[in-house]
Structure 1
Amino acid sequence: MIRPTLTALALALSVSTAQAAPKPGQAEFRNFTYEGADPVDAQVVLAPGQYRNPILKGFYPDPSITRVGGDYYLVNSTFAWFPGLPVWHSTDLVHWAQIGNAIDRPGMLDFKRLGLSRAVFAPAIEEHEGTFYILNTCVDCQGNFLITAKDPKGPWSDPVWLPTVGGIDASIFFDEDGRAWILNNDAPPGPAEYQGHRAIWIQQYDPKAKVTIGPRTVLLDKGVDPSTKPIWPEGPHITKKDGWYYLTAAEGGTAEGHSQVALRSRSVTGPYTPYANNPILTQRGLPRDRPLPITSAGHADLVDTPDGQWWATFLAVRPYGDDLYNTGRETFLLPVEWKDGWPVILENGKTIPYAATAPNLPAPKVLPPPTTGAFQAVETFAGPELPLNWMTLRIPTERWWSVGQGALTLKARPDKLIDQPSFWGRRQQHINASVQLTVDFAPTADGDRAGLTALQSDEFFYFLGVVRSGGKPVLRLERRAGAGDPVDGMVIAEVPLTGTGPVDLKITARAGEYDFAYAAKPGDWKVLKAGADGTILSTRKAGGFVGAVFGVYANGK
């Protein structure tokens, strides 16, 4: 289908997308099929009027949400993946359709060779007087920036950099008097007293001049209870209700100690008083052996409905073992209850439900592709562009791919996975998932390769595909499990390929184990490796803030 933002990218790179049979140095991929179903999908059956958590499965962290009339818009972090900052639309807070990517042009940002968990951190979206604003940070790039659009589908403006605002996790608040304010996490006003000692700051912003003005003020130093040495207050938002300014922020880091806290004040610049029963959301302190756990909840954003109800989007994870998860941080939804003038997402000690009563809001007239529960997604590569949820590592500076006539064709370029490679992929969204495709590639030099990957970062991945070795093509499985391994990975298994032409490839994820299979003839599946260690793709072992991605990759001299 034609997507305006990626069409703009195609025009910017000025390359034809005409299809042809694979040529030397090109790899052709067809029949890409992803499917997944988790144990909870069968165990938790929805009753009428219920929705399923998470609402966005897979690597969709740091959700920020805003409402315009009866429409809701949401954005997520993407770090060094491109296109970046997916923009979603919903009318009922349950069914979400991706309508664009806010970072979709090569000239907007420069990720260089940044690690995949650097670059664009937590975005925040707001609308004011017909203009949409996204505040964001490009870590190790140039700092905090703002982009705007009249239509959330895009196009979004080039970044306006905010040199007087440091730190990360910037957001914007428009007050009733017309003034705008920017919040963010930054260094404390004095020397840091311990690792993770941070502060939340606020400064006025002039939307017309596009500059920050006036002094910066600290709203929260350390956290709501400084005596406990809280770490990483971040993701701040201000919400105004009944004459009170509510400051909500994450606290406790992004792992199992994650939480959400609330404070309030009669003045936008404070002083802010913490809620006596903070945190207003957390899963820390719950039994580690509870069934089907959800952990690491926080980084919430509040939104109201036209009938006066309140809801919160937030991130959490679904581990399959001891803090092991490959699906990354996902987007969840829960109602907000106001208790004595304070917003409470979930009382302490309660577990996040996988099923809950849905908002009383109109469902979309046409249901979008599923983003939760068990589902299958088939990509036919009809062209001229890939779906909006497909991503590549870092930012391309040339058009090395084409889409159409049922195929995604990649130029086998020298760029490795540590650079900006010939790679496109989509997120692993289930603990138990599989992906399969057909690859047609004729390697011409030793080391040339094309195939299927399960990748968490350029240091932690599996590659299954056709490789030329010793002057002959082989079907090979390679694994990289850290910076100490070879850039292409270590050979785990391989078999000779006796003929030429297409080969079917399949990767099956079973929690912490991955199976790799191939079929040189359609339907004649053979297992190359079963039970490979999939925990290397988990955040706990690979580090960072992203999740695993299934993708296609071609590399050649």
Structure 2
Amino acid sequence: MKRLQKLILIIVLMLLVHSTRSQSFTNPILSGFYPDPSICRVENDYYIVNSSFAYYPGLPIFHSTDLLNWQQIGYALNRPEQLNLDGAGISRGLFAPTIRYHDGLFYILCTLIDKGGNFIVTAKDPKGPWSNPTWLPEVKGIDPSIDFIGDKAYIVYNSDPPENKSLYDGHRTIRMYAFDYKNLKVIGEEKLLINGGTDISKKPIWIEGPHLYKVGDYYYLMCAEGGTGYNHSEVIFRTKSLDEPFVSYQNNPILTQRNLDTARKNPITTTGHADLVQATDGKWWAVFLGCRPYLGDFYNTGRETFMAPVEWKDGWPIINPGFAEVKYAYPIDAAVKRSAQKFSGNYFFKDDFNSSALNDRYSFLRTVRDKWYDVETRPGALLLTLQPQTCSGKENPSMVCFRQSHIKGYAATAIKFTAANENEKAGLMVFQSENYFYFICQSVENGKPVVQLLKGNGKNTSATKPEVIASALLYNKPGKEIYFKIEAKGDGYSFYYALKKNDWRLLKENEDGRFLSTKWAGGFVGSMYAMYATSNGAATTSKVSYNWFECRSEDDVYKK
């Protein structure tokens, strides 16, 4: 009996030893438009929240138990009364959230640009429900962070220069309030922590994205600096008392890619806006935004969430120690299992719309107040009601978005639709912003059914409608299923349609992908594939049925 018990104990110990093993995670850990990451740990669980700008629901939340396998568990702002995005430009809306946990409650602090400023929401369960926002009018600025140190809380944020007088373009400050987290209000007087940045004599720009930590004997203030573009960086300050000035680390920045060879293979750029977390094994990690460009500084996938190890050296945290370049993979001790849905590396996503609710990975453009989409009436189909609103306006169009999370790959769908007139269009779009998109769709020309490819106006403000850059007559019966595919290859996009599955016909090849880049379109977002339908301002009762949607990534850097 004792021998049997001993054997069982040995087997249990062996299982525990082998339940985790050293493997690698893939950067970005959240690929596609997932910028401004903030992370917190609660015992054995990790949570990340990201900016979402004018997309709804707002502030996607991710969960992991091992920093390798991430799953989206919902959104912090998923009710219209929580989030008003009406009239917001694509790169306005929600900026730079911070997520923290204290004494049984989760907190997210964020900025709603143009609509009310800084606010805080809370939840007992990060899956929700989250509270309605409590507004913080005293906190004037952006990128607020709530940080708990012992039983005290502080809010740090980007704000105006002293006396609102800029010494140079990009002159900003970091300021702080003590915070009564039980009553959700600031305490006492605002305090100026950083003026300008690491060295104001060198005119540092856009000190922002601050987080406050207490590690050992020091308070650390970590911030982004240099602007959220190619010169982006992360810098660190410390002090032994919040009543004393913060001192800049002499070897700042602790993270940047701006000094590297621009011609290097598979570059990662614009790194910064970081947050730190200590894992259950005592190791430290940083999550931060970065970009994967092509042809120099063009990128369509937006700012993504990366992760790298952190090493403490002489009392200072160093991100990505021992390497100049941020790597596409780092070793980590994690569970052998893999997530049901992948958010990194090359993956295949397929949705047959058999669930009674849309997958959380989808987003809408601005707040949804009238439910124009339906996955319940007809299992196996997503039904969209054509609305007069278009993607070029500042309202909520009939548009279901999925992030383009790869430089190379494709998105495809199948629809059943009969356009009543030339105003009605339904199909598949790749969308960067209101005037920067390509849209392959079914419509009508001269009374006959056609496939069209439309291109956004770009900077041509005199144009009233998107330009039709390609079209082809359809000879299938009205209402018969038609297939669309958009294929991305870095700086080129190709557009296909089919009347039979996989019998693809090329409508337009190698259309300029730079048109969809942040460099051309501006703003802070990334491209979205979208199932989109519109009546272009006309009243209608038309609907379109999307019978499936799929997206495959095929980036070379992840191929083995």
The normalised TM-score by structure 2 is 0.89
CA distance in structure 2 between the aligned counterparts of 1:365 and 1:54, rounded to whole angstroms: 19
> Which residue of structure 2 lines up, in the alignment, with residue 183 of structure 1?
156
Secondary structure of 1:255's partner? coil
CA distance in structure 2 between the aligned counterparts of 1:447 and 1:113, rounded to whole angstroms: 23
CA distance in structure 2 between the aligned counterparts of 1:502 and 1:113, rounded to whole angstroms: 35
Code of the aligned partner of 2:353: F
1:489 maps to 2:466: yes
Q: How does 1:323-472 map to 2 (within 5 A)?
A: 323-346=297-320, 350-358=324-332, 360=333, 362-363=334-335, 367-404=339-376, 405-417=379-391, 418=393, 419-472=395-448
CA distance in structure 2 between the aligned counterparts of 1:354 and 1:105, rounded to whole angstroms: 36
> Which residue of structure 2 lines up, in the alignment, with residue 16 of structure 1?
none
Q: Is the 8 A contact 1:63 1:301 kept in 2?
A: yes
Deviation of the 1:521 alpha carbon: 2.8
1:530 maps to 2:503: no
CA distance in structure 1 between the aligned counterparts of 2:37 and 2:204, rounded to whole angstroms: 22
CA distance in structure 1 between the aligned counterparts of 2:502 and 2:292, rounded to whole angstroms: 33
Q: How does 1:264-303 map to 2 (within 5 A)?
A: 264-303=238-277
1:421-468 C-alpha deviation (Å, 9 max, x unpaired): 000010000100101111111111221100000000111000101112
1:382-440 C-alpha deviation (Å, 9 max, x unpaired): 12111111001001110101014111110011011122100001000010010111111
CA distance in structure 1 between the aligned counterparts of 2:422 and 2:264, rounded to whole angstroms: 50
Code of the aligned partner of 1:189: P
- Partner of residue 229 from structure 2, selected from 243, 255, 279: 255
> Which residue of structure 2 lines up, in the alignment, with residue 313 of structure 1?
287
Q: Is the 8 A contact 1:92 1:364 kept in 2?
A: no
Deviation of the 1:365 alpha carbon: 5.7
1:160 maps to 2:160: no
Q: How does 1:54-65 map to 2 (within 5 A)?
A: 54-65=28-39
> Which residue of structure 2 lines up, in the alignment, with residue 549 of structure 1?
528
Code of the aligned partner of 1:475: V
CA distance in structure 2 between the aligned counterparts of 1:305 and 1:348, rounded to whole angstroms: 20
Deviation of the 1:269 alpha carbon: 4.8
CA distance in structure 1 between the aligned counterparts of 2:187 and 2:177, rounded to whole angstroms: 7
CA distance in structure 1 between the aligned counterparts of 2:288 and 2:84, rounded to whole angstroms: 28
> Which residue of structure 2 lines up, in the alignment, with residue 174 of structure 1?
148
Change beyond 3 A, Cα 1:399–1:71: same
Deviation of the 1:149 alpha carbon: 0.3
CA distance in structure 2 between the aligned counterparts of 1:172 and 1:155, rounded to whole angstroms: 20
Structure 2 residue runs of 5 or longer lacking an equivalent are 1-20, 539-560
CA distance in structure 1 between the aligned counterparts of 2:106 and 2:227, rounded to whole angstroms: 29
1:305-345 C-alpha deviation (Å, 9 max, x unpaired): 22321110001101011210111111111111000000000
Q: Is the 8 A contact 2:58 2:83 kept in 1?
A: no
Code of the aligned partner of 1:412: L
Deviation of the 1:481 alpha carbon: 4.2
Q: How many residues align?
A: 508
Secondary structure of 1:462's partner? strand
> Which residue of structure 2 lines up, in the alignment, with residue 511 of structure 1?
490
Secondary structure of 1:541's partner? helix
The normalised TM-score by structure 1 is 0.89
CA distance in structure 1 between the aligned counterparts of 2:83 and 2:329, rounded to whole angstroms: 39
CA distance in structure 2 between the aligned counterparts of 1:316 and 1:351, rounded to whole angstroms: 12
Q: Is the 8 A contact 1:280 1:348 kept in 2?
A: no
CA distance in structure 2 between the aligned counterparts of 1:207 and 1:452, rounded to whole angstroms: 45
CA distance in structure 2 between the aligned counterparts of 1:270 and 1:172, rounded to whole angstroms: 20
Secondary structure of 1:540's partner? helix
Code of the aligned partner of 1:536: F
Q: How does 1:95-106 map to 2 (within 5 A)?
A: 95-106=69-80
Secondary structure of 1:227's partner? helix
1:232 maps to 2:206: yes
| Deviates further, 344-353 or 374-383 | 344-353
Q: Is the 8 A contact 1:88 1:96 kept in 2?
A: yes
Deviation of the 1:524 alpha carbon: 2.5
Deviation of the 1:488 alpha carbon: 4.2
Code of the aligned partner of 1:184: Y
Identity level (%): 46
CA distance in structure 1 between the aligned counterparts of 2:49 and 2:470, rounded to whole angstroms: 40
Q: Is the 8 A contact 2:63 2:71 kept in 1?
A: yes
Secondary structure of 2:399's partner? strand
CA distance in structure 2 between the aligned counterparts of 1:552 and 1:515, rounded to whole angstroms: 17
1:338-363 C-alpha deviation (Å, 9 max, x unpaired): 000000003597011112111x3x42
CA distance in structure 1 between the aligned counterparts of 2:502 and 2:73, rounded to whole angstroms: 36
> Which residue of structure 1 lines up, in the alignment, with residue 546 of structure 2?
none
Q: How does 1:194-209 map to 2 (within 5 A)?
A: 194-209=168-183
Secondary structure of 1:49's partner? strand
CA distance in structure 2 between the aligned counterparts of 1:227 and 1:346, rounded to whole angstroms: 28
Code of the aligned partner of 1:81: Y
Secondary structure of 1:536's partner? helix
> Which residue of structure 1 lines up, in the alignment, with residue 187 of structure 2?
213
CA distance in structure 1 between the aligned counterparts of 2:464 and 2:96, rounded to whole angstroms: 29
Code of the aligned partner of 2:217: G
Change beyond 3 A, Cα 1:151–1:487: farther
Q: Is the 8 A contact 1:90 1:364 kept in 2?
A: no
Secondary structure of 2:122's partner? strand
CA distance in structure 2 between the aligned counterparts of 1:147 and 1:75, rounded to whole angstroms: 13
Q: Is the 8 A contact 1:481 1:536 kept in 2?
A: no
The structure whose RCO (Cα within 8 Å, separation 6+) is larger is 1
CA distance in structure 1 between the aligned counterparts of 2:493 and 2:238, rounded to whole angstroms: 48
Q: Is the 8 A contact 2:484 2:498 kept in 1?
A: yes
1:236-283 C-alpha deviation (Å, 9 max, x unpaired): 001111121000000000111000000001123541001110000000
1:103-126 C-alpha deviation (Å, 9 max, x unpaired): 111111211111111010000000
Q: Is the 8 A contact 1:480 1:487 kept in 2?
A: no
CA distance in structure 1 between the aligned counterparts of 2:74 and 2:83, rounded to whole angstroms: 17
Structure with max Cα Rg: 2
Code of the aligned partner of 1:491: V
CA distance in structure 1 between the aligned counterparts of 2:23 and 2:220, rounded to whole angstroms: 31
Secondary structure of 1:535's partner? helix
CA distance in structure 2 between the aligned counterparts of 1:235 and 1:166, rounded to whole angstroms: 14
1:33-67 C-alpha deviation (Å, 9 max, x unpaired): xxxxxxxxxxxxxx962221111111111000000
Q: Is the 8 A contact 1:280 1:347 kept in 2?
A: no
Q: Is the 8 A contact 1:95 1:364 kept in 2?
A: no
Q: Is the 8 A contact 1:285 1:349 kept in 2?
A: no
